[in-house]
Structure formats: structure tokens, C-alpha cells
Amino acid sequence: MISLGRINRIHMVALAAVLCSAGCGEDGASPSGGGETGEDARGGGGGEDARDNSDSGRIDTGDGDGGTHSDGGSDAGQADSGIQADSGGRDGGPADAGPRDAGSGDSGVVDDSPRLVQGLTIREVAFFQAVKVSLGKGGVAVQDRNAAVVAGREALVRVYFDLGSGWKSQSVTAEAVVDTGGKREVFTATLSPSAPSVEESLSSTFNVRVPGGKVAPGAAISVRLTAANGVPTPSGIASDARFPADGSYLGLDARSTGGPIDLVLVPMRYDTDGSGRLPDTGPHVLQTIERLLTTVYPADGVAITVRDPLPWNEDLTWSGGVDFNKLNQYIADIKEQDGAPSGSYYYGMIKPKGTFGEYCSWACVTGQGWVVDDPADGAIRAASGVAFDVDQTAWTCAHETGHLHGRYHAPCSTVDSDQNYPYSGGKIGVWGWDGPSNLLYSPDT
Ligand SMILES: [Zn+2]
């Protein structure tokens, strides 16, 4: 048995999307009502919380960029249209192309005297893994970053620019050269600029995708804009068309998160009403949970295991909710009995009624988790929540495991919110980007 001397967060949801409607704008609960909101997912300091999957926050997918990747850099200047990364095209229009493996393995051929375009000035270079982390503005490296770069996680390098007077539109390639332990690789995106970049439009910036494997601890980056009629410019000579201006490399300072989150789902067999009802742990549910947790947590992935089901025969509480205190105690004990590593996240899934509506007629408790303030407190890295439809299941899981990261509620119509959350109203506060959908999210999300 473990002690219960920790803060145990109880989460109530009333009538779909009601709880946060006053303080949290569009960031409401999911239509099923279970996706309680306001989680502060800054854990580890990296890719912050860009979690709103609703339609309201997203901006555009941009279009037109080509994207290539070459080890040697010899073909990096070509205006290759690349492949389209976003075949889903929910917003229509082709999206930025993702990196394409150009084959040959070795480095060493990255052009040391690239043909830098004349008449374009790099205004800013930013790194998006979830929230925007600006690396440099006006040619100067940002010293105090708003979040850390997460090692192992795919990134979008956005290059913002201004046009010089007399600029004539032409094809320009942004090259992001990533140096990992002396091995340099080039990732590119191509655009024909006709107007200065604006934050809310991906199609107004160069958008270079860098695979997670290249965002390594110790990696450094150098960005430059090249064109066929550009001027060969050796390293050491300053230019507005590259960052750092002299062609040197800026350390990404990528932080390792120690590998994917180890999430163990524990299906509870609901025997209380004699039904033996089990939550859905099918592939679609697992994929949805993995996608969501990977999106909202600054991690390089989530490894999910589904444990054998456990029986549950406890009555509901006087208010009609699952007794999550008791359930979390049980889950924590099971984690100990299983001999699971301290870092594993044990999450109980329970379906106390046939539908969410039956369980939650006007207000209900959807889940509960300990706030693991001390990372060494693995014994209480246990939480649980109701599991009805897939979206509710995933959002409740993401919320409760957020507490297991040591996170309190974001200031979003809650009385006991995290006093250190950096933005008001539980907003994400800076621009965000979701990789799989290639969508931007405004700071008001
Ligand atoms: Zn909570």
C-alpha cells in the first residue's frame, strides 16, 4: 500500500463544454463532455501545449512549398517540389512537403559557399515542435527561449523574411543545415516570395521539416536562403540571407526526455452492475491516445501497453461517480505488484455505464490523478478515468496523465490552478503548430 498523502486531483465535468466556457474561450470540452480542458502540459519545458483539436484554433496549411532533404547538399538548391506531407488536406490545398530521403548517407559535401539570394532579409528563424520557439530575430540569437527544444521530436523550422526594395519574385530555397556530431545534412523548402512573411500564414514563410532523429542533443543549425542567381558567399562573411549571418552554427540545445512516455493502460472490468463491461482498448482508441499524448506533451513519443483487465466491484459514490480515490489506490498497488519501473504511467480505464450520457446526466467526475511533484514519486504515478467514446477517453487520459507529470490545472475557470502557468486564461500564449495535420494554432487557443 502506498500513502495517500499527495494531492489527488478530481475532475468534474458538467454538461458538455460548459465548465470552461467562461474563462477558456473555444478551448472547451469535447462534444462528449469528457474531454476536460485546461491541462497545463509544460512538463519538461519543451514543446508546449498545442492541444486544441477543435476547428477553432487552426489557421492554414500553407501551400506551394517544396521540401527536400539531401545529405550532401548538392541538389539542395534545386526547386524540387518534393512530396506532399499532408495528403489529408482538411483545409484543402497542398501542404508543405516533408523531407524526402535523397539517399546517400554521408555528409561532407554541404556547400560551404552557398549562392545566397540578394534582396531578401531573414527576419526570424523559429523552431516549432508544438509551440513556437524563436531561435533568432533580426540576426540575433534569442537568449531566453520560451521553451526548450525537445530531442527526438520532429520539428518545423520556419524562416520569416522581408523583401528588399526592387525585389523581383523568383524561386528561393531555404536550406536548414543540421549538424549532428560533425555530420551535416541539408533540409530544404522552396518558395517564390512575393510579400513579407506573416505569422498566421504558413504559405508566407519557408517551412522546413526536420526529422526527429536529427533533433539530437548537441545538434546545431545554420539557415540560409539560396537562389540560382545568388552570390556565392563563403562562411565568415555576414549576410542578411542567412542565420547566423556569418554562416556559423547555432546550438539547438535540444533536451532529451529519456525516451517515449511508458504508458500502461489498465482496463477495469466493471462488475458492480454485473455487466462485466470493459472499456474499448482497440487499435483506434490506442492510436487516438498516442496521437493526442504525443501532441500535447513535450515528449518524443508514447509507448502504450495494455495490461490484462482487472475486476472492479465497488459501488459508485453518493454523487454517482466512480470512487477514483479507491481506484487510484488500487492502480498504484497493481503497479507495485507488477514490478513496473518507477517512470511508468499506470492509467485505469473504466466504463461504469453503457454511455457517457447515462453516467453524466448533468455533472460527473471523469477522472482523477495524483500530482507527482517529485519525479521520484513513481509509486503514485497512477491515475484513472472514465472511458466511453474514443475522443473522451483520449482527452481524459491526457488530462489525468498531465497531473502525473506534476502539473496542476492551467488557469482556466478553476480555483486551484497552477500559479506558475505563464499565460492568462489557460491559453497557449504563443503560436503553435501540430505536425501531423500541419496546422497553426493562434496564441489564443
Ligand atoms: Zn485535472
Written as tens digits, the pLDDT of the chain (445 aa) is 444 445 667 665 543 222 222 223 223 223 233 333 333 333 333 333 333 333 333 444 443 344 445 444 333 333 333 222 333 333 333 333 333 333 333 344 688 899 999 999 999 999 999 999 999 999 999 999 999 999 999 999 999 999 999 899 999 999 999 999 999 999 999 999 999 999 999 999 999 999 999 999 999 999 999 999 999 999 999 999 999 999 999 999 999 988 899 999 999 999 999 999 999 999 999 999 999 999 888 888 999 999 999 999 999 999 899 999 999 999 999 999 999 999 999 999 999 999 999 999 888 899 999 888 888 889 999 999 999 999 999 999 999 998 888 888 888 766 667 777 888 787 888 999 999 899 999 998 8
22 assigned to some structural domain: yes
Q: How far is the CA of 103 from the centre of ligand 1 (A)?
A: 47
Task: Determine the distance from the C-alpha atom of residue 415 to the mean position of all C-alpha atoms in its chain, rounded to a whole number.
Answer: 27
78 assigned to some structural domain: yes
Q: How far is the CA of 380 from the centre of ligand 1 (A)?
A: 15
CA dihedral 159, 160, 161, 162 (to 10 degrees): 180
Cα dist from 280 to 288, 312, 356, 382, 392, whole Å: 12, 16, 13, 20, 12
60 assigned to some structural domain: no
Q: How far is the CA of 200 from the centre of ligand 1 (A)?
A: 31
Q: Which helix (H) or strand (E) holds 329?
A: helix 324-338
Q: How far is the CA of 409 from the centre of ligand 1 (A)?
A: 6
Cα–Cα distance, 352 to 312 (Å, whole number) = 10
Cross-strand bridge partners of residue 207: 158
pLDDT value of residue 161: 98
> What CATH code is carried by the domain that includes residue 343?
3.40.390
Q: How far is the CA of 360 from the centre of ligand 1 (A)?
A: 17
Between vectors from CA 423 to CA 378 and to CA 52, what angle results, nearest 5°?
75
First to last CA, the chain: 41
Main-chain dihedrals φ then ψ at residue 429, nearest 5 degrees: 80, -25
> What CATH code is carried by the domain that includes residue 217?
2.70.50
Verify that 273 and 417 share a domain, yes or no.
yes
436 assigned to some structural domain: no
Question: What residue type is assigned to position 138 of the chain?
Answer: G
Query: Which SS3 state, helix, strand or coil, does residue 158 take?
Result: strand
Q: How far is the CA of 42 from the centre of ligand 1 (A)?
A: 14
Verify that 244 and 287 share a domain, yes or no.
no
pLDDT value of residue 5: 47
Query: Which SS3 state, helix, strand or coil, does residue 115 take?
Result: strand
Q: Give the range of the structural domain holding residue 218, as residue numbers without chain letter.
A: 66-255
Verify that 286 and 315 share a domain, yes or no.
yes
pLDDT value of residue 7: 66
Verify that 13 and 149 share a domain, yes or no.
no
Verify that 123 and 158 share a domain, yes or no.
yes
pLDDT value of residue 415: 64
pLDDT value of residue 441: 93
pLDDT value of residue 244: 98
pLDDT value of residue 78: 32
Verify that 208 and 344 share a domain, yes or no.
no
Q: How far is the CA of 308 from the centre of ligand 1 (A)?
A: 26
Cα–Cα distance, 367 to 383 (Å, whole number) = 8
Q: How far is the CA of 136 from the centre of ligand 1 (A)?
A: 36
Q: How far is the CA of 39 from the centre of ligand 1 (A)?
A: 7
pTM above 0.85, yes or no: no
Q: How far is the CA of 229 from the centre of ligand 1 (A)?
A: 56
Verify that 76 and 113 share a domain, yes or no.
yes
Q: How far is the CA of 367 from the centre of ligand 1 (A)?
A: 8
Grid cell, residue 220, equals 546545431
Main-chain dihedrals φ then ψ at residue 296, nearest 5 degrees: -90, -15
Q: Which of the listed residues 255, 275, 307 is the one where a domain comes to its end?
A: 255
437 assigned to some structural domain: no
52 assigned to some structural domain: no
Grid cell, residue 322, equals 466512480
- Number of helices and strands in the chain (H, E): 4, 26
Verify that 310 and 396 share a domain, yes or no.
yes
Verify that 148 and 160 share a domain, yes or no.
yes
pLDDT value of residue 284: 98
DSSP strand pairing (242-243 vs 206-210):
unpaired
56 assigned to some structural domain: no
57 assigned to some structural domain: no
pLDDT value of residue 94: 35
Q: Which of the listed residues 224, 255, 286 is the one where a domain comes to its end?
A: 255
Q: Name which of 322, 333, 338 is nearest 400 in CA terms.
A: 322
Verify that 97 and 14 share a domain, yes or no.
no
Cα–Cα distance, 175 to 338 (Å, whole number) = 49
Residue with cell 502539473: 407
Cα–Cα distance, 402 to 414 (Å, whole number) = 16
Q: How far is the CA of 231 from the centre of ligand 1 (A)?
A: 56
Verify that 334 and 408 share a domain, yes or no.
yes
pLDDT value of residue 407: 85
Q: How far is the CA of 400 from the centre of ligand 1 (A)?
A: 6
Verify that 251 and 275 share a domain, yes or no.
no
Question: What residue type is assigned to position 433 of the chain?
Answer: W
Q: How far is the CA of 292 from the centre of ligand 1 (A)?
A: 16
Q: How far is the CA of 401 from the centre of ligand 1 (A)?
A: 9
- In the chain, how many domains are there? 2
